[in-house]
Structure 1
Amino acid sequence: MTILLKKSKILEPRNPNRSTALFGGKASGILNWNDIPYPHFYKLREMIRNQFWIADEVDMTYDTKQFSHLTKEEKTAYLKIIGLLASLDSSQTNMAFKISEYTTDPSVSAIMATIADQETEHNRSYAYILSSVTDWETQRKAFEAPRTDQLLLERNEPIVEVYNRFSVNPTLENVLDAMIYTSLLEGLFFYSGFAYFYNLARNNKMVGTSTMISYINKDEMQHANFITELYRATLGENPEYNTEERAKWVYEQYKRGVESEIKWSNSLLRNIDGIYLPEMEGYIRYRANKMLRMLGLSNIYPEYIKNPMKWVHAFVDNFDHTKTDFFEQRSRQYTKTSDLNGFDDL
């Protein structure tokens, strides 16, 4: 059975304020956070909103001086990864907007608006990073790479297919598929790139960039947390879609994603000092396991239950602690102190 979703009306006062379903239900459009079907969504929203930061506040002075001293391989990786991250975050802004158009739960729409706003700041941060360290033509080429580089095109092809399928044919099945690819982006596809910048920083290189990436990383972890909760809740409301066939499809997408991420990282990071490729491959498989468990599924790589690259923890601060940059004696911690502090391990 195919359930075609309709765009939600902005206001429908004859409907109840409390939504009757996440998708395909009824709601007035009047949001009362004290009366929503999934009360824990409010806590997730607060965890997302507590992480406020602005790209232009990150000091890139030292990075501007250091960029020209990076090796050729380090510069290539730096520019290509920034280009990739920019392409992924561009799609995430639009995907959050698309989901908000079709959800019939105002709380989900509100959370998606917050996520979309954060994704625009991520995208802005990549432009800010590049404008700080290199010339306009190099910046332009970095942003062009995701649509011209063959390896990047192949890597992003499944994302393009699944996202565009939902956009032109907004069925319940297609929005579920899009959520899975959102979980892949937020929880897996960014992570070898993030690790590259943390590796530079642990060698006292491009620390400003690493700081920016750590803010983005923390946001993405919270986005991934919410999208997995939304996926599971949607399946709970629509048990006819919670099938072995769907679970098999999800496993296949994660295996495909892991293979793609490993191929990408091996091609780009093989000559980077401090990056040990077998360790990176294990880290990618570990991230896949972690995201699958968050989706309510099982590990597909039983030998990678623990993080083999624990050193990355030093670069994404725990919410219960405050760290400072190597060169800046300023707080890297923007999040407010509250009882919601604490997030999923890297």
Structure 2
Amino acid sequence: MESVRARGGAAERNLRLLPKAHLHLHFTGSMRPSTMLELADKYGVHLPEALSGGEPPRLRATDERGWFRFQRLYDIARSCLRSPEDIQRLVREAAEEDVRDGSGWLEIQVDPTSYAPRLGGLIPALEIILDAVDSASRETGLGMRVLVAANRMKHPLDARTLARLAVRYADRGVVGFGLSNDERRGLARDFDRAFQIAREGGLLAAPHGGELSGPSSVRDCLDDLHAGRVGHGVRAAEDPRLLRKLAERGVTCEVCPASNVALGVYEKPSDVPLRTLFDAGVPIALGADDPLLFGSRLAAQYELAREHHGFTDPELAELARQSIRGSRAPADVRARLLGGVEEWLENSPAGGTSQR
């Protein structure tokens, strides 16, 4: 693989060779489209044109109807995962894709209750997922851990059950606790006890916020759930005081540019306030969110920052550093990846191409 490419007469470093951490990737959404098609055929699952047409579906989730359509497509894709072997395949392929994109650490997010009915229950489902993560990590060399995520659309008591389960498996690879689904439904403070259980058990609090709702959603994640990271968080750009708060606390925002555009949060890639967050000193970890539905994986998010926001190679390297620092990777893994970022920068594109 070439380490640099030509653009406008000048060579550029290859962003797939930039070491980075991937902190915002959903479980079903990480599936390869080809794998979904194979599994759908195997199990006789009828896929709508939006999933079987070979192109990412057109979505607009900024209204209730659009979000319902997004969730329906996601649920159909999830129904293709029915056995431990399917789970193992999905995780292994997600790891392979991440390695190809330069990721040295992946924290994949999953709500095991979604898979429990077909995998023998909640505890067996989580154990199957954790075993798959452990196997994929050994096979690919990618450091991998799990964030267990509760669903805002369900009762807060369900979230407490998941938080206790997540803490129970902290020594098996669970590093964080999240809160996903439509942030316009369910107040953050309704889930405060679940997040307290998770934090007291040593897990990172990483709820979604500031995507479909405005800055107040991010503020609630900080004030009510004591978030150490925020999934998305881009709408914080609308509130300078909130930006300062995020920067001062060092709270990483898991920004997913392609997802933001695909879901209609912003009209075009250049509208995503990456530069606003970056210049305000807010730590950023670029993520792919749901590549199955949005059509692009991790390296493409860095390409978007370069192409649409004018991020220079030193700035892209800093984005990679921020993703690594915001991760739950062990100290030695962080040090190795950060060293790799410096090597990437030191390899000047002016010297031509080199082989990996």
**Normalising TM by the smaller chain, what interval?**
under 0.3
TM-score, normalised with respect to structure 1: 0.27
TM-score, normalised with respect to structure 2: 0.26
Which has more helix, going by share of residues?
A: 1
Task: Select the structure of larger CA radius of gyration.
Answer: 1
